[in-house]
Chain A
């Protein structure tokens, strides 16, 4: 076990010490820092495949999952990741907490800190909520999704999966298709991928892909078919059914016809295109069931890789100076 931690350390660039107590965004990280997380994740990856699925890196530390939005897979992934680092894990659900009694986010954060928590993993429907907690506590704050802003560990696990399958990120042509404007996954992918030298294209109707993204370095395309054969990676975003009434698109059928990743479209894509999805999939809407289960799909690998990436993030942040 010690060897594993040691190997995690030696794969890091020699001179680099992880400098951040929090992981709030990928926008704020450098390419070297992103690579350091990916390399560390790589060293953690085989923990999950061994009979004893634990390393003692966070033994005695306490991680709280502070989720103000419903989530099953992200919460489970963080819980497992923390447990594999031997941390104690507590779940804090908004409904059961005093938040329903009107306590402010700042007070909630301070209360959790007062209980001696080391790491706060927070998901909130409000963009910037994690910044607020980070400003008001000394805990390590790991953003598990804030509003439509960022979801950095999802971005990292997507990039990790791409790197593993394609060997490198530099020069990759990546499409992200769907409700990009409302997507924290898209923003984290954009920042991370651009820093590592990929080309990112956002695809969707103008109601879902605002032109301002062009100023952030993305190519914005509204005609999926015209660019379909260019991509090494196609990352399909989940269509939020609750947005049906908000006039960003008229019907699921029309969306699927214009932007869905169908079997027919797969025939026109690159033969080795990597098909990704942050889950959960609406089969038959943004993606055909056959495509999700097909040979190009790495959707389940994304889930598996998420564990290693989240282990790496928690490990590095708690090692940062002044953390814990």
Chain B
């Protein structure tokens, strides 16, 4: 790749890793952050030392480390009608994400070196953003035999999870923690006791009782989480609780952290925005797993994010075709997409409400997931990879799913008025998305 120098001028640069919040110029040379120079108001343009091939005027915009979504489903291989690595990457950069970690519940599952390599090759071929595969904990995600974690680490897997279901057998989970610790990789658990969930399709409670739908109790999440915390504490392994949704789970993580357990956690926009009542007359765009819970749970999740109990904000981007989502509620698949709506929705919950400042939001969407996954990202320190997100914090817009880059449209947020719009997404020093011109390399988006 030819050397390409990019200058991002006069933006409000927010970088939690250096506690930076100032108007500055960011100089990018050969894909790395070269320097951040404070911009002096009304002064003539400072002359950069290196030649500049491309310049972005970021006046009035926020320039921050590229957002990282550590919980994404890309559906390739296996369900390319719903999403591909290319279309998912396009959705990511359109939503301001420069790195995504993709879950292994593909067909076949990402449970061996070859599939990890396939995912990374497809990601590189499209070349829009960094894609970090999460390998399966067990072969075929069946919860029985350990997958070849060592081989997958060598191929590039950054973490391990059987996401979509939890590892039910405590001895299997114990062994997985002991084993993965050898490679210093975290295990990500989808906390759901299948027997307690017993075929449920929404939160167990008043709305489920009223609608006559089988419920997934909060206990299903909490029983497995508490078990795993005990296991992680005993092993000393790094453990990450995926998509936390209940007040009880937030408290368990808070308590575990106080005791010094190596536990981290994440929460999704829908679990801090919506409650079970939103399902209305069986609208499947509100069907996800874990399910939408109660007001009390939403408030506890928000509090957990604000006080640092919950480290990361993720989307659990789960594309599904319109035909499948048109099934009756009990038979429709779980999940909604989120890459192209997460930033403004989280701005609404945390920044517009003044619960977090901009740095607080950016940290939970970049630096924190980078730390959980052991990535040297989420920072604008000189020498770092030049992954940046530039967004207009003030721009108001209405979410229109027909304009999404994702192949799927399953979102309950269509028509929502939101604030905060991604203007440019820079990955490795290249502008991969520009609000004015779209995705950089459309050829990459051709069907596989």
- Residue numbers of A with Cβ under 8 A of B are 27, 104-106, 124, 126-129, 131-132, 146-150, 181, 184, 187, 210, 212-213, 215-216
Query: 12 A-B residue contacts at CB 8 Å?
Result: A124-B328, A127-B211, A128-B212, A128-B213, A128-B330, A131-B281, A146-B212, A147-B213, A149-B212, A210-B209, A212-B210, A213-B209
Contact B328 A129 (CB under 8 A): yes
The interface residues of chain B lying within 8 Å CB-to-CB of A215 are 206
Contact B330 A127 (CB under 8 A): yes
Contact B329 A126 (CB under 8 A): yes
CB distance from A94 to the nearest CB of B (A): 13
Nearest residue (CB) in B for A191 is B210
B323 at the interface (CB under 8 A from A): yes
B328: contacting residue among A105, A184, A187, A212, CB under 8 A:
A105
Contact B282 A150 (CB under 8 A): no
The interface residues of chain A lying within 8 Å CB-to-CB of B331 are 126
A147 to B205, CA, bound (A): 17
CB distance from B293 to the nearest CB of A (A): 14
B327 at the interface (CB under 8 A from A): yes
A147: contacting residue among B323, B326, B327, B330, CB under 8 A:
B330
The interface residues of chain A lying within 8 Å CB-to-CB of B281 are 128, 131
A149 to B282, CA, bound (A): 11
Contact B323 A212 (CB under 8 A): no
Contact with A along B300-326 (1 / 0, CB 8 A): 000000000000000000000001001
Contact B212 A187 (CB under 8 A): yes
A216: contacting residue among B206, B282, B328, B330, CB under 8 A:
B206
Within 8 A of A (CB), among B324-379: 326-331
Given the known inter-chain contacts A104-B326, A106-B326, please indicate yes or no for A131 contacting B282, CB distance below 8 A.
Answer: yes
Contact B328 A149 (CB under 8 A): no
Given the known inter-chain contacts A104-B326, A128-B328, please indicate yes or no for A184 contacting B209, CB distance below 8 A.
Answer: no
A34 to B327, CA, bound (A): 30
Contact with A along B183-224 (1 / 0, CB 8 A): 000000000000000000000011011111110000000000
Most A CB contacts (10 A, CB to CB) among B205, B206, B211 go to B211
The interface residues of chain A lying within 8 Å CB-to-CB of B209 are 181, 210, 212-213, 216
A-B contact count (CB 8 A): 60
The interface residues of chain A lying within 8 Å CB-to-CB of B327 are 104-106
A91 to B214, CA, bound (A): 29
Most B CB contacts (10 A, CB to CB) among A128, A131, A132 go to A128
The interface residues of chain B lying within 8 Å CB-to-CB of A216 are 206, 209-210
A273 to B242, CA, bound (A): 54
The interface residues of chain B lying within 8 Å CB-to-CB of A27 are 210
Contact B206 A128 (CB under 8 A): no
Contact B205 A128 (CB under 8 A): no
Nearest residue (CB) in A for B205 is A212
A132 to B284, CA, bound (A): 10
CB distance from B444 to the nearest CB of A (A): 33
The interface residues of chain B lying within 8 Å CB-to-CB of A184 are 212
Given the known inter-chain contacts A132-B282, A212-B206, A216-B206, please indicate yes or no for A127 contacting B326, CB distance below 8 A.
Answer: no
Identify 18 new A-B residue pairs, CB closer than 8 A, beyond the known A106-B326, A150-B212.
A27-B210, A104-B323, A126-B328, A126-B329, A127-B211, A128-B211, A128-B212, A128-B330, A129-B328, A132-B282, A132-B328, A148-B212, A148-B214, A149-B211, A149-B212, A184-B212, A187-B210, A212-B205
Given the known inter-chain contacts A106-B326, A147-B330, please indicate yes or no for A127 contacting B213, CB distance below 8 A.
Answer: yes
The interface residues of chain A lying within 8 Å CB-to-CB of B205 are 212
A93 to B404, CA, bound (A): 40
A272 to B328, CA, bound (A): 43
The interface residues of chain A lying within 8 Å CB-to-CB of B212 are 127-128, 146-150, 184, 187
A212 to B206, CA, bound (A): 5
A147 to B214, CA, bound (A): 10
Given the known inter-chain contacts A104-B326, A104-B327, A132-B328, please indicate yes or no for A127 contacting B210, CB distance below 8 A.
Answer: no
CB distance from B35 to the nearest CB of A (A): 57
The interface residues of chain B lying within 8 Å CB-to-CB of A149 are 211-213
A20 to B17, CA, bound (A): 60
